[in-house]
C-alpha cells in the first residue's frame, strides 16, 4: 500500500517554518488530524478535520478507517520523541507512513540554554508519573522535561525539594518558537511562580543540598533503600543476581516471587528501555513493590498479584527470568524455562537445602552453573568488631541454548 499517512512536526511558528514538501502534503490532504492548536494554524480548505478524542485510541481508530485516503497528522515538534508518531506506528506499518519531523522541544530548550543535548536526560511527564524523577535526579545532572500542563513546574519544584535538591535551578520555557515565547527561572526550594502557560518545557540543573538523596544507577542499592518485611535479596547478592541476568536494552524480565520487588526494580534502573513484570502472591508485599518502584524511579514496573506458575499465563514473553521465591512449587522452574526464547537467561537463588536440591536437579537436566555466594559484614561484638555472616545463597544461572 502507498504511504497514505503523513505525520508532520509543526512548531509554534506555524506553516511558515515548514518545508515546501510538508506544506504540499498539508495542501493535498483529504483528512487533517491534530489538536485544536495545530489545526488553527492551517487555513480552512476542503480537507476533513479531526481533533484528538479522549481516549486517544478513538481517533487512532478513525484514522485507520481512512486507510487509503491522504491523511495528514499534525504533531508537535518531533513526532517520534514522546510524540503521537510512536502511538501511530504501533497501529500502522512504517512502510505506509511518511514522517516529516520538526524541531523537538528538547532541541529548542537546549539551544536556548546552551546545553549539549547529548549530555542531557530527556523525559516526558505528560500523562506519566512524577516518580520518574526519582530515578534520574543526581548531583550535576541536567534534565529536560515535557510538562503535562501549567501545574507541572510547581509539582517538579516540590518533588526536587523533597529529594533534597532544593538548590536546583529551574527554567520554564513557555511557547518556544512562538511570538509569545517566555522564560521563567528560579530555584526549586524558592519556586513561587504564579500562572504558567500550559505549553511549557522544564529545564532542571540538579544541585544537591546537604540532605540530598543520592542513588547510584548501578545494581546494588543499599538494603535500606527498600521497604520490606525481611523478604529482600541482600545488596551484594542482588548485584550478583542482576549481573547474571545480564540486562540488555529492550529486554523484559519476569521477577517471580518478587518479595519487595528489588530485582525487578534494579533491572529497570539499568536502562530506560527495559521492561519488567513482578509476580507476587502476598497483597502486603504487592503494596510494598509499588511503593518501592515509585520511590526508586520506576513507576512503570508491571505487577501481577497471584501465585506462579498459574499467574504467568498470558504474560508477555520474557528475555530473562528470576525466581526468588516459590522454588518448592512443582513445575515452576520448568514453566519459566519453557517461556524463555533461545538465549534467554534463568537465574534462581536458594537459601535452604531443599531449594539447593531443586536447583541441582534442574541443573542436571537442563544445564547451567551453580555458585555459592557467602557474605559476611563487620559488626560490633561488645567492645570489639567481628564478622557476622549472612545466610549463604546458592545461585543457579542458566542460558537457554
Instruction: Walk me through the domains of the chain, giving residue ranges and CATH numbers.
Output: 5-103 (3.40.1010.10), 106-205 (3.30.950.10), 223-399 (3.40.50.150)
Sorted by sequence, the CB contacts under 8 Å of residue 12 that are 6+ apart come out as 175, 176, 177, 178, 179, 181, 199
Sorted by sequence, the CB contacts under 8 Å of residue 21 that are 6+ apart come out as 100
Mean pLDDT (10-residue bins), the chain, 401 residues: 91 91 95 94 92 94 95 96 95 96 96 97 94 96 95 96 97 92 95 84 97 92 94 94 97 97 98 97 96 97 96 97 90 96 97 94 96 96 95 97 90
pLDDT, position 195 = 74
Torsion of CA 139, 144, 150, 154, to 10 degrees: 0
Burial of 229 (0-12, 13-18, 19+ CB in 10 A): exposed
> H helices within 313-386, ranges in order?
332-339, 353-366
- Grid cell, residue 293, equals 518502584
pLDDT, position 1 = 58
Number of helices (H), then strands (E), in the chain: 11, 19
Q: What is the DSSP letter of 47?
A: S
Sorted by sequence, the CB contacts under 8 Å of residue 306 that are 6+ apart come out as 279, 281
Give the side-chain half-sphere CA count within 13 A for 111.
Answer: 8
Burial of 251 (0-12, 13-18, 19+ CB in 10 A): buried
If you compute the radius of gyration of the chain from its CA atoms, what whole number of angstroms results? 25
Q: How far apart are CA 265 and CA 235, in angstroms?
A: 13
pLDDT, position 323 = 97
CB 345 within 8 A of CB 244: yes
Q: How far apart are CA 373 and CA 395, in angstroms?
A: 7
Burial of 321 (0-12, 13-18, 19+ CB in 10 A): buried
Amino acid at each position: 500500500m502507498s504511504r497514505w499517512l503523513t505525520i508532520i512536526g509543526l512548531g509554534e511558528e506555524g506553516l511558515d517554518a515548514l518545508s515546501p514538501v510538508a506544506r504540499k502534503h498539508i495542501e493535498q490532504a483529504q483528512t487533517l488530524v491534530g489538536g485544536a492548536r495545530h489545526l488553527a494554524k492551517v487555513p480552512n480548505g476542503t480537507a476533513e478535520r479531526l481533533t484528538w478524542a479522549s481516549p486517544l485510541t478513538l481517533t487512532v481508530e478513525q484514522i485507520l478507517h481512512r486507510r487509503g485516503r491522504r491523511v495528514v497528522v499534525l504533531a508537535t515538534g518531533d513526532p517520534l520523541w514522546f510524540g503521537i508518531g510512536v502511538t501511530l506506528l504501533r497501529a500502522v506499518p512504517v512502510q505506509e507512513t511518511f514522517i516529516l519531523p520538526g524541531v523537538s522541544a528538547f532541541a529548542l530548550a537546549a539551544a536556548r540554554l546552551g546545553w549539549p543535548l547529548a549530555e542531557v536526560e530527556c523525559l516526558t511527564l505528560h500523562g506519566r508519573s512524577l516518580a520518574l524523577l526519582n530515578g534520574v535526579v543526581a548531583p550535576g545532572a541536567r534534565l529536560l522535561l515535557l510538562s503535562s500542563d501549567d501545574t507541572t513546574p510547581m509539582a517538579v519544584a516540590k518533588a526536587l525539594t523533597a529529594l533534597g535538591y532544593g538548590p536546583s535551578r529551574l527554567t520554564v520555557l513557555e511557547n518556544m518558537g512562538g511570538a509569545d515565547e517566555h522564560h521563567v527561572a528560579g530555584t526549586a526550594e524558592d519556586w513561587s511562580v504564579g500562572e504558567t502557560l500550559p505549553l511549557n518545557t522544564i529545564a532542571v540543573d540538579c544541585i544537591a543540598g546537604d540532605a540530598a538523596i543520592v542513588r547510584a544507577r548501578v545494581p546494588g542499592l543499599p538494603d535500606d533503600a527498600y521497604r520490606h518485611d525481611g523478604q529482600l535479596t541482600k545488596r551484594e547478592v542482588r548485584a550478583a543476581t542482576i549481573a547474571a541476568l545480564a540486562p540488555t536494552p529492550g529486554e523484559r524480565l519476569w521477577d517471580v516471587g518478587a518479595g519487595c520487588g528489588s530485582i525487578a526494580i534494579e533491572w529497570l534502573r539499568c536502562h530506560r528501555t527495559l521492561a519488567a513484570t513482578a509476580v507476587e502472591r502476598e497483597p502486603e508485599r504487592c503494596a510494598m513493590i509499588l511503593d518501592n518502584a515509585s520511590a526508586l524511579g520506576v513507576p512503570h514496573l508491571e505487577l501481577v498479584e497471584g501465585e506462579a506458575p498459574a499467574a504467568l499465563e498470558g504474560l508477555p514473553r520474557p528475555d530473562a527470568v528470576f525466581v526468588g521465591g516459590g522454588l518448592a512449587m512443582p513445575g515452576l522452574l520448568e514453566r519459566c524455562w519453557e517461556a524463555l526464547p533461545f538465549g534467554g537467561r534463568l537465574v534462581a537463588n536458594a537459601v535452604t537445602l531443599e531449594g539447593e536440591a531443586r536447583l541441582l536437579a534442574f541443573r542436571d537436566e537442563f544445564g547451567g552453573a551453580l555458585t555459592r555466594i557467602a557474605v559476611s559484614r563487620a559488626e560490633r561484638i561488645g567492645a570489639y568488631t567481628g564478622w557476622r555472616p549472612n545466610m549463604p545463597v546458592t545461585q543457579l544461572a542458566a542460558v537457554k541454548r
